[in-house]
Amino acid sequence: MDPGLTLLEHLAAALARIFRMPCQIRPEVMDIAFARDEGRKQCHSTAILQRLERNANPDVRVLGVTAVDLYVPVLTFVFGEAQLEGNCAVVSTARLKDEHYGLPPREDVLRERLIKEAAHELGHTFGLRHCPDWRCVMASSYGVEILDVKGSDFCSACKRPIAENAYW
DSSP assignment of 51-81 equals HHHHHS-TTS-EEEEESS-EE-TTSS-BSEE
- Counting the structural domains of the chain, the total is 1
CATH number of the structural domain spanning residue 54: 3.40.390.10
Kindly tell me if the per-residue pLDDT of 116 is higher than 70: yes
35-55, pLDDT tens digit by residue?
A: 999 999 999 999 999 999 998
- Distance between CA atoms of residues 32 and 36, nearest Å: 7
Q: Is the pTM of this model over 0.85?
A: yes
DSSP assignment of 131-150 equals -S-TTSTTS--SSHHHHHHS
Is 121 among the catalytic positions?
Answer: yes
Q: Which domain holds residue 108?
A: 3-165
Q: Which of 53, 85, 121, 145 is catalytic?
A: 121
67-104, pLDDT tens digit by residue?
A: 999 999 999 999 999 999 999 999 999 999 999 999 99
Beta-sheet pairing, 70-71 with 36-37: unpaired
